[in-house]
Amino acid sequence: MSPDSVHTPPAPDPRRWVILAVVCLATLVVLLDNTVLNVAIPSLTEDLGAGTADIQWMINAYALVQSGLLLTAGSLSDRYGRKRALLIGLALFGAGSAAAALAQSSGQLIAARAGMGIGGALLMTTTLAVVVQVFHGPEVPKAIGIWGAVSSLGFAGGPLLGGVLLAHFWWGSIFLINVPVALVGLVAVARLLPESKDPSGRRPDVPGAVLSTVGMVGLVYAIISGPVHGWGSGPVLLAGAVGLAALAGFVGWEARTPTPMLDLGFFRDRRFNGAVAGGVLVAFGMAGSLFLLTQYLQLVLGYQPLEAGLRMSPLALVIVLLNLSGVGARLLPRIGFAGAVASGMGLLAGGLALVAALGSGHGYPGLLAGLLLMGCGIAIANPAMAAAVMGAIPPERAGAGAGVQGTVTEFGGGLGVAVLGAVLGSRFAAGLPGGVPASAAKSLPEALAAAPDDTARAAVHDAFAHGLSSSQLIGAAAVLLGGLVSAALLHRADRPAGTPSGSDAPEPVPAAH
């Protein structure tokens, strides 16, 4: 093979932008369901008699199943074909959405959400893998930026969509709307998307799939259940121990098997590690803050679901506008991966801190300032981290890389909801006024119902607001620390060999696959 043939880039697919639109549609519907349920919490509490633990499981069952299966789904899509994985994922997601819309009890809804998580895992791993398969050269950062804008829109736009639907329909409409979208996606994928898979024909890594699924489910279950049952309780400790043991077994198995599901050599790449570390903390701050803020807008400030969704929409709009305008793609060659992640996560941490400092005392204007700053930070950091992860992995293993990226997002999001929710709950319980029993600290509506007079009810609102501020400050500190660690790893990876650490030489940005 001549040198020229080695370096000749493949011809671009003439339908690549249409294909991007199709995979973005699939990504959008999956990520909307991470947050769309938040604004329906009051309705679910009333209609299904759901308690705080039920609500947490309605939200987290989806993330728990999805995060447990992402690595397996990515590996299977590489092995058997990404188009096939997308079709199966859309079918499962649509069926699960229909079951959720028709649920008559908390248990049925939790089970349907878990089923949706299976389809969501297949969709999340294949959409990003398809993007890096059909785009090449300088178009890759732009395509990932658009994919990231749609991802962020889905994540942050859930409260708005949920608010619009709940203003006119019953709570099941937030799931039923997924069904026609899944059907459109099935037709579009079947007609437009080319099949792609790993040409090496690797054998399925069944032990690795089982160990990774058990490990992630156990660990995420412990994180979700810790605030509910207590971190020292038997179920939480058992789930955490099983999860950690399974993940340790997974690492040992992947290091020995000739056909690993996840090549552990990826973790020797500082760029890969830096992007993974940053991704966990961005998802931590974003998911945790949205979980808390949608409740604050409705339960403390008294907004209806649609009003709350509209007031959360500036976050999504800033992310979409900045990504679609190519701000992140233009900044990346100038400041490198490290600069983009550091500046983006610094802005995100600043936004969370603003929410903590201004939200309680200044109402919505204080929250708005923080949301705008958070949106700017996410728009800059997220595309850079996705490009860094995928750029460190061979194109034929794109599904595995997307599985890692998705696992990072889901794990960080679940951790954010659990940790920041636990901080809010403990601070809320500690701040309740006399006359309100400790058993009423399970939720704000219960505490308000137990308050003997208007003065006590005002004190209950203040306790919830102070708990929110404490939670957002912890989120801001975690995001800032993660940004510094991630940027340091990315800076060392991007610095040319032999360049002193104090050199002012610009960081090169490696070409994406």
Q: What's the distance, Cα to Cα, between the start and end of the chain in Å?
A: 20
Residue type, position 175, single letter: F
Q: Contact, 295 vs 308, CB < 8 A?
A: no
Higher-scoring residue by pLDDT: 211, 336: 211
Q: Contact, 117 vs 61, CB < 8 A?
A: yes
Q: What percent of the chain has pLDDT over 70?
A: 84
Number of Cβ atoms within 10 Å of the Cβ of 169: 12
Higher-scoring residue by pLDDT: 265, 101: 101
Higher-scoring residue by pLDDT: 78, 99: 99
Output the pLDDT for position 155: 65
Whether residue 250 has pLDDT greater than 50: yes
Output the pLDDT for position 140: 74
**N residues, the chain:** 513
CATH number listed for the domain at residues 14-205+259-494: 1.20.1250.20
User: C-alpha 317: how far from its chain's center?
Assistant: 17
Whether residue 369 has pLDDT greater than 70: yes
Rounded mean pLDDT of 370-376? 86
d(CA 107, CA 363): 36
Rounded mean pLDDT of 435-455? 76
Q: Is 128 exposed, middle or buried (0-12, 13-18, 19+ CB in 10 A)?
A: buried
- Axis-axis angle for helices 52-80, 82-101 (nearest 10): 160
Rounding to the nearest 10 degrees, give the CA dihedral for residues 260, 262, 267, 269. Answer: 90
d(CA 221, CA 68): 10
Number of alpha helices (DSSP H) and beta strands (DSSP E) in the chain? 17, 0
* Res. 200 pLDDT band, cuts 50 70 90: low
Output the pLDDT for position 153: 72
* Res. 100 pLDDT band, cuts 50 70 90: confident
Higher-scoring residue by pLDDT: 153, 341: 341
Strongest mean pLDDT among 21-30, 253-262, 369-378, 466-475: 369-378
Whether residue 146 has pLDDT greater than 50: yes
Q: For 60, which DSSP code?
A: H
- Axis-axis angle for helices 270-295, 305-324 (nearest 10): 150
Residue with tokens 């395509």, as numbered in its chain: 143
d(CA 493, CA 488): 9
Whether residue 208 has pLDDT greater than 50: yes
SS3 of 1, please? coil
Q: Is 4 exposed, middle or buried (0-12, 13-18, 19+ CB in 10 A)?
A: exposed
Rounded mean pLDDT of 386-405? 71
Task: Round the average pLDDT of the chain to a whole number and report it.
Answer: 76
Contacts of 304 (CB under 8 A, 6+ apart): 163, 167, 298
Whether residue 259 has pLDDT greater than 70: yes
Residue type, position 2, single letter: S
* Res. 6 pLDDT band, cuts 50 70 90: very low
Contacts of 91 (CB under 8 A, 6+ apart): 119, 182, 186
Q: Is 244 exposed, middle or buried (0-12, 13-18, 19+ CB in 10 A)?
A: middle
Whether residue 328 has pLDDT greater than 70: no
Output the pLDDT for position 489: 75
* Res. 494 pLDDT band, cuts 50 70 90: low
CA-closest candidate to residue 378, choices 468, 317, 294 = 317
Output the pLDDT for position 12: 66
Rounded mean pLDDT of 353-363? 73
Higher-scoring residue by pLDDT: 84, 386: 84
Output the pLDDT for position 38: 67
Please name the helix (run of DSSP H) or strand (run of DSSP E) that holds residue 85, with its range, or none.
Answer: helix 82-101
d(CA 198, CA 240): 34
Number of Cβ atoms within 10 Å of the Cβ of 74: 32
Output the pLDDT for position 422: 76
Output the pLDDT for position 227: 64
Of the listed ranges 51-60, 168-177, 428-437, the least confidently predicted one is 51-60
Rounded mean pLDDT of 70-83? 80
**Distances 458 to 128, 361, 433, 452, 465 between C-alpha atoms, Å:** 47, 14, 10, 11, 11
Whether residue 21 has pLDDT greater than 60: yes
Rounded mean pLDDT of 404-429? 77
Output the pLDDT for position 8: 52
Output the pLDDT for position 448: 78
Our CA angle for 202, 204, 208, nearest 5°, is 120
Q: Is 404 exposed, middle or buried (0-12, 13-18, 19+ CB in 10 A)?
A: buried
CA-closest candidate to residue 324, choices 21, 86, 32 = 21
Output the pLDDT for position 156: 63
Q: For 495, which DSSP code?
A: S
Tokens, residue 46: 């009333």
CA-closest candidate to residue 359, choices 484, 481, 462 = 462
Output the pLDDT for position 297: 77
pLDDT digits (tens, 9 = 90+) for 297-324: 777 777 777 777 778 778 878 887 887 7
CA-closest candidate to residue 123, choices 160, 166, 92, 161 = 92
User: C-alpha 453: how far from its chain's center?
Assistant: 41
Strongest mean pLDDT among 127-136, 265-274, 292-301, 476-485: 476-485
Tokens, residue 351: 């936004």
Output the pLDDT for position 445: 73
Output the pLDDT for position 497: 43
Whether residue 2 has pLDDT greater than 70: no
Give per-residue burial for 443-463: e unless 16+ CB within 10 Å, then b. Answer: bbebbbebbeeeebbebbbeb
**Distances 442 to 51, 287, 432, 438 between C-alpha atoms, Å:** 8, 21, 11, 8
Domain boundaries defined on the chain? 14-205+259-494
d(CA 322, CA 320): 6
In the chain, what are the helix, strand and coil shares in percent, each to the nearest 5? Answer: 80, 0, 20
d(CA 177, CA 332): 36
